[in-house]
Structure 1
Amino acid sequence: MNGGSVSDDARLGTYVDGVAIYQDANGAPVEQISPLGYHVGWAGILFLNVSQMVGTGVFSTPGSILRALDSVGLSILYWVFGSIIAFATLTVYLEYASLFPNRSGGQVTYLEQGYPKPAFLFPTAYAFFIVAFSFSSSNAVVLGRYIYRAAGYQAGEWANKGLAIASYTFLALICLLSTRWSIRLMNLISAVKLIILLFIVVTGFAVLGGGTRVKDPGANFRNSFSGITNNGNDIVNALVNIQFAYRGYDNAFNVVAEIKNPLPLLKKVAPLSLLIVSILYVLANVAYFAAVPAAEIRESGELTAALFFEAVFGGKAAKGLPALIAVSAAGNIMAVIIGSTRGIRECGRQGVIPFPHVWASTRPFGTPLAPILLKWVLTCIVILALPFGDAFNFLIDLRSYPDAVFIFLMVVGIYSLRYRRKKEGLPPAPYRTWQISLILAAAVSLFLVIMPWYPPDDGGDVSFWYGTYCAVGIGLMAGMGLYYWVWIHFLPKLRGYKIRTETTVSNQDGSVAHRLTKVPDSNIAEWDRTHDDAGNVLFETTTRVETADTSQFGLGANLSFRDAHLLDTCSILRTYDMYNFRNRYGHQRLQTCSSRQQNRN
């Protein structure tokens, strides 16, 4: 990886494998060498996506979808539609990743770069939601419930809560102690998931071929499109359930900076992971309908897969299913921890969360300690504090609505990014998604933003007003907008200071983060004179050095330190061993690197 950088007004340009990569200067600083290491290869990309997609949904969702649509044929087609929608949105992620191949965090980074103005608005709003709603309580509860079912034990609510916390703690500890081994374990569990689904598919073919105890495997496929519902809310709910089942196809984009030469791998493996899961999902549903009468699937709830095993192999075989689902849920939790903690870390590196160096740090295990601890604490609090029922379901729903809004904004942000890059004379993205993909992804995501306001026939999954979580979600987003205005504009004007960004480099693990600094109005002229828009006045020395040999950096010539503002020196120090660089050129003290806010107040 060749390092160095150039600046173009408010953009930073960084070289990755000899290719110039530009990002907005207010974004979190690039770490040319990932402090988290490079433990994600093609298998990691494949199974990070697979493990988050394949949780418990494919084993239970078919019943709710059939109940909503009243048609076997349309139910199966919906799984195909869901995969097409997921592919369309995946290509949007690929375009973002091609523009920012040295940034992890997925949606965190892409919203930051898609909407750089007003400075810090989107990072602030998104950071609130990703931090406040970083719990994984529902996944942990499902895991605990199925462990008890596998053991044949009828557990009460508190016993279920206790096992959920214990299970989540164990998995979080694995992710905390070693990224390498947590990914390896997750890969193994994900492979088991695929084998389970493949077994269901192969068994389904055997059923259709007449090689099992099922009497009439084609019964559900005769007149399979008759009786289609005309209830708009039911059709929408089925689409929501399908989208939820495919959620996770973007998980690998949370760890882009931990992949060597990420774009070629992501272009091949990310679509492959979605293709594999899509085919298995569709064929698994065909298997279910071949073995189990539609009326039983419609009323099955969480037991669709159990009915399948019972119909094909007998009642005893179905008793082993909870253990398989528990394994699937465990892999899902690990994939979520690995992916989402990178998003939290990026929010910290943006400087919009207090103590950014703490969130960015990878000590002592080379893992994101603070984000993992945050997820663990919030997950335990939600599990312990909320009883199963309305409050629990409300909190889960509340998290989902802003997420739908952010996905829509991320998709639309591609148009803004393309326009700004063209206006600034920057090259187009190395990977450019199709226009039809953008339109489809934007339309579906907007549909999912509007849909929850439509009144459901059954009143929803809570006893109070069905749209409460939507209204509260919008209220929280409006509140974050007000908080941003007070923090960035009102208070600085009232107290006589301006907000500027500082980039801090850790001498312990090399992690790099922004810190938002209050600069008094009396000092702002001096600050602006010594710090440029792109943040390239990055360090100063106690030993005067006029020139340095930068040929080893891939820059091909000696460079005067008077011109150091032309280089993203933090990136150089990080890429080419900042400790050796400091020792060789007499830098006794590595100071904080500073960058200037793009929008002067």
Structure 2
Amino acid sequence: MQSPDMRAPELKRALGWASAGAIMAGSVIGTAIFLVPSTIARELDSVGWSFFVWMFGGLLSLAGALSYAELGAAFPEAGGEYAFLRRAYGPLWGFLFGWQQVVIGKTGSIATIATGFAIFLGFFVDGLQQEWLHLSWGESGWGVTGLQFVAMTAVASFSLINCFGVGRGGAVQSFLTVLKVAAIVTLAGLVLGAGKGSWDHFQDAPEHTAGTGWGAFAAALAAVLWAYDGWNNLTLVGSEIRDPEHTIPKVFLLGLLAVMGVYLLANFAYFYALPLDAVKHSEQVAQDVAQLVFGDFGGAAITAAAVVSTLAALNGSILSGARVSYAMARDGLFFSPLARLDPVHRTPVNALIVQALFASLLILLFGQDRAGFDRLFNYAVFGLWAFYGITVLAVIVLRRTSPEVVRPYHVAGYPWVPLIFGAVAGLFCLSMIFQNPSETGIGLVFLLAGIPFYLYWRSNGKAEAYRKWSRKE
């Protein structure tokens, strides 16, 4: 049996620390910081609790990222969690993660981000929420809105860009990430320096007491964790990062701390410019703040920044997500054409195409209007965090089952950091089931639908050969 290093062509290690950092930070900072602060304020009805949940979610994500750093430095393979779960729990769990990424998590995330991009673009283009196409049959039919057309076009465009090499995709990611971070920091600095807000906005009124309930906190935490989501994308491209043993831990630590700083700074600007009640009732809080302080020009400028920010997150998710289905197909556990790489650019073109098609299908199913963003978010986040939790616990499992593996980085606070993260992730998923049974129910059905496919592919001779080879690693 040939080792993976002898297979041709292979993915290329073309991502340095700057591109790797841009993939992580650029994937994390997307639509959420422009939209979810108002959701959090409505749930908690408190400025103080709003800042607390942003910090709690950031530290929780950092705990998960540092655990992933140990796994990514020890096993820098394509597919990230797919590779880790396969080693820790067996091929079924690796497959279920990859299946979940294709039908729930990553494609749902891509669809959500693309819908957010279309919503922001609607600031400049009228009529996007209206039907652009209506297909009639019988007494009913199916309408496709401008938001859906724009979102699907964005998915197709960035999937095409990433077909021409990971280096090109990484360069686009670096450029867009620098632009959007600079835009958010500049906005916050100008708002805080303009003197048109009030520090009194940070004082909660006595009647604002809703933040103490678990249901409200869980709902707010879901929004915050969506805002921080995407940090795991770094390990999905582990086989394409140069010097992964040192690059992955460094990027995780510094990148997430930087993201936390950007998010807290943006929230300071929002609450300085607007009182709590105004933030709660704002549908697009960043634009409202910029428009209040700088007039119509400010609203247009921050919306343009939001468009750039969303495109960077979209590119990062598309670039990293296709590596999962590629790795599964390479191992004989998915449709074999998805394992093919372009002989010139060495990119998983077929995997990128399938990913784009499924994300577009989700946009057609869920993304008809402004509320489609929330529907897609609730659909995607449950599956993501269920697997984040069990992946972090794989740190403990693999230390026991594979003690001989060289680990260039060890997660601080072991084993408590992985255990606490896994417990919180489990509680969060349970709360999502009770609060959003429809979206999470659909996700669970799609996840379980993967088991018959796994049983079929497991009986395939290539998958059996791969399992024999993997046991010899």
TM-score range, shorter chain: 0.7 to 0.9
Q: Residue 363 of structure 1 contacts residue 369 of structure 1 at CA under 8 Å; is this kept in 2? A: no
2:258 is equivalent to residue 276 of structure 1: yes
Q: Normalising by structure 1, what TM-score?
A: 0.69
Deviation digits for residues 419-476 of structure 1 (CA, Å, limit 9, x no counterpart): 1124xxx25633221223212211221112211233x4xxxxxxxxx41343444444
1:370 to 350, 362, 368: 350
After superposition, the Cα gap between the structure-2 partners of 1:227 and 1:124, relative to the gap in structure 1 and judged at 3 Å, is same
Corresponding residue for residue 103 of structure 2? 132
- Corresponding letter in the other structure for 1:449: C
Specify the code of the residue in structure 2 equivalent to 1:255: V
Q: 1:411 to 1:267 in 2, by over 3 A?
A: closer
Q: 1:290 is paired with a residue of what secondary structure?
A: helix
Residue 178 of structure 1: how far off its partner (Å): 2.9
Give the Cα–Cα distance (whole angstroms) in 1 for the partners of residues 163 and 219 of structure 2. Answer: 37
* Alignment partner of 2:362 out of 382, 389, 392: 382
Structure 1 residue 319: deviation in Å? 2.8
1:467 aligns with 2:437: yes
In our comparison, the structure showing a higher alpha carbon Rg is 1
> Quick check: 1:127–1:352 contact (8 Å CA) kept in 2?
no
CA distance in structure 2 between the aligned counterparts of 1:169 and 1:298, rounded to whole angstroms: 34
In 1, are the aligned partners of 2:82 and 2:97 still within 8 Å (CA)? Answer: yes
2:335 maps to which of 354, 366, 369: 354
**Change over 3 Å in CA distance of 1:395–1:297 after alignment to 2:** closer
Which range is displaced more, 342-351 or 153-162? 153-162
Whichever residue aligns with residue 106 of structure 1, its letter is G
Greater alpha carbon shift after TM alignment, 82-91 vs 373-382: 373-382
Cα deviation, residue 347, structure 1:
1.4
Match in the other structure for 1:409: 390
- Give the Cα separation in 1 of the matches to 2:52 and 2:366: 37
Q: Distance in 2 between matches of 1:154 and 1:386?
A: 15
Partner of 2:140: none
State the AA in 1 paired with 2:235.
F
* 2:63 match: 88
Determine whether 1:187 maps to 2:167. no
Per the alignment, do residues 453 and 147 of structure 1 end up closer, same or farther by CA in structure 2, a change over 3 Å counting? closer
Distance 1:395 1:311, change over 3 A: closer
Alpha carbons 1:52, 1:248 under 8 Å: kept: yes
| Residues 459-501 of structure 1, C-alpha deviations (whole Å, 9 max, x = no match) | xxxxxxx41343444444445446645765xxx7xxxxxx654
Report how far residue 404 of structure 1 moved. 2.3
Closer, same or farther: CA 481–35 of 1 in aligned 2, 3 Å: closer
Q: What is the one-letter code of the residue matched to 2:288?
A: L
Query: 1:437 — aligned with what?
Result: 417
Task: Give the Cα–Cα distance (whole angstroms) in 1 for the partners of residues 248 and 471 of structure 2.
Answer: 33
Asked if the contact 1:40/1:258 (under 8 Å) is kept, the reply is yes
Please, which of 159, 172, 175 is the counterpart of residue 162 of structure 2? 175
Partner of 1:65: helix, strand, or coil?
helix
Matched residue, 1:313: 294
2:230 corresponds to which of 248, 265, 270: 248
Contact 2:366–2:375 under 8 Å retained in 1:
no
In 2, the alpha carbon distance for the partners of 1:398 and 1:293 equals 31
- The amino acid that maps onto 1:275 is L
Q: Deviations over 1:280-325 (max 9, x none)?
A: 1111101111111111101102x11112112222244213332221
Higher strand share: 1
Change in 2 beyond 3 A, CA 1:113/1:31: farther
Contact 1:198/1:280 (CA < 8 Å) preserved in 2?
Answer: yes
Q: Is the 1:71–1:226 Cα contact (8 Å) retained in structure 2?
A: no
Question: In structure 2, do the counterparts of structure 1 residues 31 and 213 end up closer, same or farther at CA, with 3 Å as the change threshold?
Answer: farther
Q: Which has the higher contact order (CA 8 A, sep 6+)?
A: 2
**Quick one: distance in 2 between partners of 1:375 and 1:442?**
28
Once the two structures are aligned, what percentage of the paired residues are identical? 21
The Cα shift of 1:334 comes to 0.6
Correspondence for 1:65: 40
Q: Tell me how many residue pairs correspond in the alignment.
A: 453
Structure 2 counterpart of 1:213, one-letter code? K
Partners of 2:50 and 2:447 lie apart in 1 by 35
Q: In 2, Cα distance between the equivalents of 1:59 and 1:468? A: 26
**SS state at 1:173 partner:** helix
Offset of 1:107 from its aligned partner?
A: 1.2
Closer, same or farther: CA 362–516 of 1 in aligned 2, 3 Å:
farther
Corresponding residue SS for 1:177: coil
Q: What is the aligned counterpart of 1:333 among 286, 293, 314? A: 314
Match 1:322 to one of 303, 308, 316: 303
Aligned to 1:556: none
Greater mean alpha carbon deviation, residues 57-66 or residues 138-147: 138-147
For 1:395 and 1:202, how far apart are their aligned partners in 2?
Answer: 32
> Does residue 213 of structure 1 match 2:196?
yes
Q: 1:238 to 1:395 in 2, by over 3 A?
A: closer
Q: Which amino acid in 2 is paired with 1:355?
A: S
Aligned residue in 2 for 1:552: none
Counterpart amino acid of residue 417 in structure 1: L
Contact 1:143/1:164 (CA < 8 Å) preserved in 2? yes
2:70 pairs with 1:98: no
Q: Is the 8 A contact 1:66 1:298 kept in 2?
A: yes
Structure number with the higher helix fraction is 2
> Separation in 2 of the partners of 1:291 and 1:396?
27
Distance across 1 between alignment mates of 2:285 and 2:391: 35
Residues 394, 54 of structure 1: CA spacing in aligned structure 2 closer, same or farther, 3 A cutoff? closer
Question: What is the rounded CA distance, in whole Å, between the counterparts of 2:363 and 2:448 in structure 1?
Answer: 28
User: Gaps spanning 5+ residues in structure 2: where?
Assistant: 132-144
Q: Could you tell me which residue of structure 2 aligns to residue 528 of structure 1?
A: none
Shift in CA distance, 310/373, structure 1 to aligned 2, threshold 3 Å: same
Q: Residue type of the partner of 1:378?
A: F
**Contact 1:201–1:280 (Cα < 8 Å) also in 2:** no
| 2:402 is equivalent to residue 421 of structure 1 | yes
- The superposition leaves residues 135-159 of structure 1 with CA deviations (integer Å, 9 ceiling, x where unpaired) of 3222222222322322456652422
Matches within 5 A, 1:153-164: 155-157=129-131, 158-164=145-151
Q: RMSD of aligned C-alpha atoms?
A: 3.0
Asked if the contact 1:123/1:352 (under 8 Å) is kept, the reply is no
Which range moved further: 64-73 or 382-391?
A: 382-391
- Structure 1 pair 411–31 and aligned structure 2 pair: CA distance change class (3 A): farther
Q: Distance in 2 between matches of 1:168 and 1:131?
A: 15
Equivalent of residue 146 in structure 1, options 102, 112, 120: 120
